Amino acid sequence: MDSTVTMSAALRGAALKREKVAAAKAARAAGKIAAVARRAEEEKIRAERSAMIAEETARIGLKVAAVRRALGIGSDEPNPTSVCLLIESLTSEMRFRLAAKGFW
């Protein structure tokens, strides 16, 4: 007697369908896990970028405040053209530094 069990076509089709469904569920779960990991990594990069921009902006603010004090400009007075140009220059330098680090 033959010890192998032969399955009917219907049983083979049902088994194949169960395997496909199980594989699809596993792939879906793996995709969800990968998406969560990707979002966490993007959030980490976004937070790091925000922190670096805030730090650089604070430095620019301190430099501008020092220049305004040195020029004797009051806090209620608008920035003269030279200070506006300085702010633009410092901002562009900040962008270059952040771009070199891959954050801009």
Q: Where are the domains of the chain?
A: 9-100
Tens of pLDDT, residue by residue over 72-89, are 998 889 999 999 999 999
The reported pLDDT for the residue numbered 14 is 92
With cut-offs at 50, 70 and 90, classify the pLDDT of residue 3.
low
Are 94 and 60 contacting, i.e. CB atoms less than 8 angstroms apart? yes
Query: Exposed, middle or buried by CB within 10 Å (0-12, 13-18, 19+), for 81?
Result: exposed
pTM above 0.85, yes or no: no
Cβ neighbours of residue 94 closer than 8 Å, sequence gap 6 or more: 53, 56, 57, 59, 60
pLDDT given for residue 104 in this prediction: 73
Site of tokens 């033959």? 2
pLDDT tens across 4-63, in order? 667 788 899 999 999 999 999 999 999 999 999 999 999 999 999 999 999 999 999 999
